[in-house]
Chain A
């Protein structure tokens, strides 16, 4: 019965995708996070997992239909887009205009490559307290994840972690170094092989 349900969903999805191919429309965000209530017992957890699998396969099918495999050069370029860090102001976790455009560039790559899982690490410059800076780094990573998830990227694909001032990008003790160190970094955890180029 479950398998039949999945099959039916996939057929419906294929129909929808066929329509899309003729008249391209923006890809709608796919809600992926199961509600907390759905995981209160094993049955509900299993059901949520099945639903998630269905949604993932739908999203993957749609993304595949609108994209194409990347060449080696293109894949390197996509990875560079995904891994480009975003920078922050002193003692702040708000998105600057530059940070927004860096993150906006990642959105189509993340939407097209639904298997991608990313770890966002938050970092600070060396000026604050070592311990409080770990909380600030986490705040930066969380704000970055929220920016992406507010734009349709499932939060479950984005891990967050903080290293505070423990892993500086630049070891200097001047404003230039401080600026480079107040950042969120992006590490591809999985799904980075066989990247696909987003549709134009």
Chain B
């Protein structure tokens, strides 16, 4: 019998507490003797998780969604439904010995109750219940609300297992057919958010409850904010070019690029309107695609100030601007479309290699650049709220579609499949 790896448990526990402190939130600090996270094998190996069959008419939907979410989270190995672990009858015990033999470290048990489900995580090595909670599942079976709540169950299980909350209960906004669409993180419930035929560059408000976007109109482009039911209002009128909007991290202002005869510069305007203030000092160059550090004090953007487009990083008033990533000497540069990670530690961007864009990530601690994609063309990277996954638009299936990529393993999964989709943004966690 293998010896539980206590160091993993401890590390997870410390990380969870540290993250909670860093985020300025309060969490229930573990009581003495209560562990955070699951006991599992040697370092680096993912815990094996088995989700028991679920009784009731919605049982299989519930089980399938949670299994897929845990798989998409890339932190655990989900064992297939055919795994021969005996299903306990009623409140009967789990066969922990059999589970251990099958490579299962944790067992998830979902029991439908009135208006929700009881969720239990068993720790196989400790032969006991690790966590237990009853969660509401509102809305009609398999409705969007019900599915979202189910994703919340998955995210909670992932947090119980790994110490990191999952991102299944989140949405993507993207552009298809010139409209802004919303889609669940697992590719379900694609819904048009705008009727405009020339909408571009959606960006979520930090609350997740509204989306800012640009619209190309006949006489110029304008910036709009819409709620998630599609009720939109104009923030910047169509005069010249107004594109690539993003909310500031505190949600009170919008940064965007405004172009006229003298180039395209970054501006900031209050969400309530008023006079825009200039951010970038491009001296007649083109500056677009702003993205803020989580504390709002730094900004990264695309600029053509040195001739060809490159990604720059500056203070939030545009001063102290610097090229983000060093160049291999003599290389032709076209780097653009940065997105700052929600944990503040990295920036993703796209770089043209051999005539195609590929997605890169740069660590802000040591400025080491890592290439994340190689297959076909990959553009418009945007971080997931876990600061681990990104969404890109990729032509690897033929036309541009949204793909989610795990920046740690490179694993990719397709999110959209009809028409063509691009310029995605990822919402914060909808259930926290």
A sample of 8 inter-chain contacts (CB < 8 A) reads A119-B218, A129-B289, A129-B309, A130-B200, A134-B288, A138-B264, A160-B240, A162-B221
Partner of B286, one of A135, A145, A146: A135
- Report B224 CB to chain A, min CB distance, Å: 16
User: Which of chain A's residues has its CB closest to B175's CB?
Assistant: A130
User: Which of chain A's residues has its CB closest to B261's CB?
Assistant: A142
- Taking CB atoms and an 8 Å cut-off, the chain A residues in 28-78 that contact chain B are none
Which residues from chain B contact A130 at a C-beta distance below 8 Å?
200-201, 379-380, 422-423
Partner of A134, one of B243, B263, B304, B355: B243
Q: How far is the CA of A130 from the CA of B259 in the complex (A)?
A: 15
Which residues from chain B contact A161 at a C-beta distance below 8 Å?
218-221, 241
Q: How many residues of B contact A (CB 8 A)?
A: 38
Which residues from chain B contact A139 at a C-beta distance below 8 Å?
259, 263-264, 286
Whether the pair A132, B200 counts as a contact (CB closer than 8 A) is no
* Additional A-B contacts beyond A134-B244, A162-B241 (18; CB < 8 A): A91-B334, A128-B334, A129-B337, A129-B357, A129-B379, A130-B423, A131-B244, A131-B289, A132-B286, A134-B259, A135-B241, A138-B241, A139-B264, A142-B261, A160-B240, A161-B241, A162-B221, A163-B216
Which residues from chain A contact B261 at a C-beta distance below 8 Å?
142, 145-146, 160
Interface size class of A (residues with CB under 8 A): 20 to 34
Whether the pair A129, B302 counts as a contact (CB closer than 8 A) is yes
Whether the pair B219, A132 counts as a contact (CB closer than 8 A) is no
Which residues from chain B contact A83 at a C-beta distance below 8 Å?
none
Whether the pair A131, B336 counts as a contact (CB closer than 8 A) is yes
Whether the pair B289, A132 counts as a contact (CB closer than 8 A) is yes
Most-contacted residue by chain A among B216, B261, B334 (CB, 10 A): B261
Q: How far is the CA of A139 from the CA of B282 in the complex (A)?
A: 14
Q: Let me know if B298 is at the binding interface, CB within 8 A.
A: no
- Taking CB atoms and an 8 Å cut-off, the chain B residues in 344-399 that contact chain A are 350, 352, 355, 357, 379-380
Whether the pair B216, A131 counts as a contact (CB closer than 8 A) is no
Closest 8 CB pairs of A and B: A135-B286, A135-B264, A129-B336, A138-B259, A131-B244, A142-B261, A138-B241, A131-B288
Q: Let me know if A104 is at the binding interface, CB within 8 A.
A: no
Which residues from chain A contact B308 at a C-beta distance below 8 Å?
91
Which residues from chain B contact A91 at a C-beta distance below 8 Å?
308-309, 334
Whether the pair A132, B241 counts as a contact (CB closer than 8 A) is no
Partner of A132, one of B240, B260, B302, B355: B302
Q: How far is the CA of A128 from the CA of B377 in the complex (A)?
A: 12
Q: Let me know if B182 is at the binding interface, CB within 8 A.
A: no
Binding site for A on B (CB under 8 A): 178, 198, 200-201, 216, 218-221, 240-241, 243-244, 257, 259-261, 263-264, 286-289, 302, 304, 308-309, 334, 336-337, 350, 352, 355, 357, 379-380, 422-423
Q: How far is the CA of A163 from the CA of B259 in the complex (A)?
A: 12
Which residues from chain B contact A166 at a C-beta distance below 8 Å?
178, 198, 200, 216
Whether the pair B288, A132 counts as a contact (CB closer than 8 A) is yes
Partner of B309, one of A119, A132, A134: A132
- Report B141 CB to chain A, min CB distance, Å: 39
Instruction: Encode contact with B along A67-104: 1 for CB under 8 Å, 0 otherwise.
Output: 00000000000000000000000010000000000000
Which residues from chain A contact B350 at a C-beta distance below 8 Å?
129
Q: How many A-B residue pairs have CB under 8 A?
A: 94
Q: Let me know if A127 is at the binding interface, CB within 8 A.
A: yes
- Report B207 CB to chain A, min CB distance, Å: 24
Whether the pair B302, A131 counts as a contact (CB closer than 8 A) is yes
Whether the pair B336, A132 counts as a contact (CB closer than 8 A) is yes
Q: How far is the CA of A92 from the CA of B107 in the complex (A)?
A: 60
Which residues from chain A contact B263 at a C-beta distance below 8 Å?
135, 139
Which residues from chain B contact A131 at a C-beta distance below 8 Å?
200-201, 243-244, 257, 288-289, 302, 336-337, 423
Whether the pair A135, B219 counts as a contact (CB closer than 8 A) is no
Which residues from chain B contact A132 at a C-beta distance below 8 Å?
286, 288-289, 302, 304, 309, 336-337
Q: How far is the CA of A159 from the CA of B220 in the complex (A)?
A: 9
Which residues from chain A contact B257 at a C-beta distance below 8 Å?
131, 135
Most-contacted residue by chain A among B221, B243, B287 (CB, 10 A): B243
Q: How far is the CA of A166 from the CA of B259 in the complex (A)?
A: 17
- Taking CB atoms and an 8 Å cut-off, the chain A residues in 98-149 that contact chain B are 119, 127-132, 134-136, 138-139, 142, 145-146
User: Which of chain A's residues has its CB closest to B380's CB?
Assistant: A130
Q: How far is the CA of A135 from the CA of B422 in the complex (A)?
A: 18
Whether the pair B221, A134 counts as a contact (CB closer than 8 A) is yes
Q: How far is the CA of A138 from the CA of B258 in the complex (A)?
A: 10
Which residues from chain A contact B220 at a C-beta distance below 8 Å?
161
Q: How far is the CA of A18 from the CA of B350 in the complex (A)?
A: 64
Given contacts A128-B334, A128-B336, A145-B261, contact A135 B216 (CB under 8 A): no
- Report A117 CB to chain B, min CB distance, Å: 12
Instruction: Encode contact with B along A162-182: 1 for CB under 8 Å, 0 otherwise.
Output: 110010000000000000000
Which residues from chain B contact A136 at a C-beta distance below 8 Å?
286
User: Which of chain B's residues has its CB closest to A145's CB?
Assistant: B261
Which residues from chain A contact B288 at a C-beta distance below 8 Å?
129, 131-132, 134-135
Q: How far is the CA of A107 from the CA of B177 in the complex (A)?
A: 38
Q: How far is the CA of A58 from the CA of B241 in the complex (A)?
A: 34
Q: How far is the CA of A131 from the CA of B257 in the complex (A)?
A: 9
